[in-house]
Amino acid sequence: MKIIDARVVISSPGRNYVTLVIETESGVIGVGDATLNGRELSVASYLRDHVVPLLIGREANRIEDTWHYLYKGSYWRRGPVQMTAIAAVDIALWDIKGKVAGLPVYELLGGAAREGVMVYGHATGADLDELKDDFRKHLDAGYKAVRAQCSVPGLSKTYGVPPADGRMYEPASGSLPQQDVWETTAYLDFAPRMMEAIREEFGFGVHLLHDVHHRLTPIEAARLGAALEPYRPFWMEDPTPAEDQSAFRLIREHTTTPIAVGEVFNSIWDCQQLITERLIDYIRTSVSHAGGITHLRRIFSLAELYGVKSGSHGAGDLSPVSFAAALHVDLSIPNFGVQEYMGHREPANEVFHTSYSFENGYMHPGNLPGLGVEFDEKAAAAFPYDPKYLPVNRKLDGTVHDW
Ligand code: EZ4
Ligand code: CO
């Protein structure tokens, strides 16, 4: 069954998404997510200019071969652009394989290893009262796990807290990046108080998560992890910039707070040391940025060997296509931990018709053949690309810092 067409659709139904549509000679169509937030056009070009010509005439069945053809065949390998592009192809080919077999993708991956996928939502607030209100809403909706982020007193902007005008907290609107400010001392003083406030209000019967978003040094992260121990967080996410894998040894030496890392990773090589030296507890690579279903499963298999669980990235900048793909993987692997679920803003539902469901804190990808997501290209055309950047972060003295 040969591929006869592949096209890249860039649209902005609520936020920017890059979608790859692969068409086969038998008429079966597969969809993949190629969205790289703030750098969308680079992946679109990689696909349109360099990958689509290689796909036409290829056998759609040969997922593993196509993966290696695109990875090794480019010579210049890895990095977010290539690995997001390969992911989009891979996800679309699994979608096609499922449709041809008449089975949901999770059945092709070995079948359901659990009844549902525990997801965590994002609770945010400009102050602790607002955060508690939002946290309560998540509990009322049935969430068993909730991430807490709150404005740091004294800082004008904080990661994870939407601005008052209702915009998303990432990316900024406008043609140039929004500038955020960062002050480590204020954050380190406040974060334990925030976690304490949540535990005092809601007790220990809910999984409580927090994202540090790569802003600390290893010794600062060690101090934060130790300070959070009384509140028993499910995890402390991205405590330090994770390209420095050996830094996690120092954090580990000082705290039992579980560590989750990996939303910016693209390949198994980015987390090899973290996993094999047992420096983390959860690996957060995403299906759309780490080479698709084929490569994500390889990462999770390595992690399983070392007692590390999955905790895939699932922010709103991953389209419903990759979110569905993530749910199929989550349902089928033995070492599933938790799945991030930020949801998608309207009008995304007009463009992506999904079959996944949420009930009582758990999600299920549904039982339609393939991924279970239908992409409406005509509807997408009504939402043209809207160029946006992720924010840039500076310390109070103006030094550029990790965002
Ligand atoms: O900032 O996906 O855990 N979730 C996150 C996200 C990331 C965005 C970047 O595009 O850290 O909010
Ligand atoms: Co994160």
Identify the CATH number of the domain in which residue 316 sits.
Answer: 3.20.20.120
**Alpha-carbon distance 23 to 56, whole Å?**
9
Ligand with minimal distance to 238 CA: 2
Boundary-marking domain end, from 39, 69, 103? 103
Q: 131 and 272, same structural domain? A: yes
Domain span holding position 327: 108-367
Q: 323 and 263, same structural domain? A: yes
CA 159 to ligand 2 center in whole angstroms: 10
Best residue for ligand 1 mutational test, from 211, 283, 338 (most atoms within 8 Å of Cβ): 211
Q: For the chain, which residues score pLDDT lower than 70?
A: 165-167, 172-173
Q: Answer yes or no: is 278 within a domain.
A: yes
Q: Answer yes or no: is 294 within a domain.
A: yes
Q: Which amino acid is at 166?
A: G
Q: Which two tokens stand for residue 124?
A: 């945010």
Query: Model-level pTM?
Result: 0.98
User: How much is the pLDDT for 301?
Assistant: 98
Radius of gyration of the chain measured on its C-alpha atoms: 20
Ligand with minimal distance to 341 CA: 1
Q: 268 and 283, same structural domain? A: yes
Q: Kindly report the protein residue whose alpha carbon is nearest to atom 8 of ligand 1.
A: 315
Boundary-marking domain end, from 72, 103, 134? 103
Atom of ligand 1 nearest to the CA of 237: 3
User: How much is the pLDDT for 175?
Assistant: 80
End-to-end alpha carbon distance in the chain: 45
Ligand 1 neighbourhood includes 317 CB (under 6 angstroms): yes
Q: 183 and 50, same structural domain? A: no
Ligand 1 neighbourhood includes 158 CB (under 6 angstroms): no
CA 238 to ligand 2 center in whole angstroms: 7
Contacts of 301 (CB under 8 A, 6+ apart): none
- CA geometry: angle at 112 spanning 70 and 209, to 5°? 80
**Eight-state DSSP code of residue 122:** E
CA 213 to ligand 2 center in whole angstroms: 6
Atom of ligand 1 nearest to the CA of 340: 3
CA 4 to ligand 1 center in whole angstroms: 35
Q: 57 and 95, same structural domain? A: yes
Q: Answer yes or no: is 203 within a domain.
A: yes
Q: Answer yes or no: is 24 within a domain.
A: yes
Q: Kindly report the protein residue whose alpha carbon is nearest to atom 5 of ligand 1.
A: 315
What total number of domains does the chain contain?
A: 2
Q: 113 and 20, same structural domain? A: no
Q: Kindly report the protein residue whose alpha carbon is nearest to atom 6 of ligand 1.
A: 315
CA 263 to ligand 2 center in whole angstroms: 6
Q: 99 and 239, same structural domain? A: no
Q: Answer yes or no: is 393 within a domain.
A: no
Ligand 1 neighbourhood includes 51 CB (under 6 angstroms): no
Q: 120 and 39, same structural domain? A: no
Q: 325 and 223, same structural domain? A: yes
Q: 226 and 277, same structural domain? A: yes
Q: What is the CATH number of the domain that holds 19?
A: 3.30.390.10
Q: Answer yes or no: is 375 within a domain.
A: no
Q: Which two tokens stand for residue 105?
A: 């993708």
**Alpha-carbon distance 375 to 355, whole Å?**
12
CA 353 to ligand 1 center in whole angstroms: 23
Other beta carbons within 10 angstroms of residue 173's beta carbon come to 12
User: How much is the pLDDT for 172?
Assistant: 66
Ligand 1 neighbourhood includes 338 CB (under 6 angstroms): no
Q: Answer yes or no: is 395 within a domain.
A: no
Q: Answer yes or no: is 384 within a domain.
A: no
Boundary-marking domain end, from 75, 103, 131? 103
Ligand 1 neighbourhood includes 66 CB (under 6 angstroms): no
**Alpha-carbon distance 89 to 218, whole Å?**
37
Ligand with minimal distance to 342 CA: 1
CA 202 to ligand 1 center in whole angstroms: 25
- Give the residue numbers marked as catalytic: 159, 213
User: How much is the pLDDT for 164?
Assistant: 72
Q: 30 and 16, same structural domain? A: yes
Q: 27 and 118, same structural domain? A: no
Q: What is the dihedral of CA 162, 164, 166, 169, to 10 degrees?
A: -20
Ligand with minimal distance to 402 CA: 1
Best residue for ligand 1 mutational test, from 15, 212, 213, 402 (most atoms within 8 Å of Cβ): 213
User: How much is the pLDDT for 166?
Assistant: 65
Ligand 1 neighbourhood includes 84 CB (under 6 angstroms): no
User: How much is the pLDDT for 170?
Assistant: 72
DSSP 166-177: S--SSS-SSSS-
User: How much is the pLDDT for 245?
Assistant: 97
Best residue for ligand 1 mutational test, from 149, 170, 342 (most atoms within 8 Å of Cβ): 170
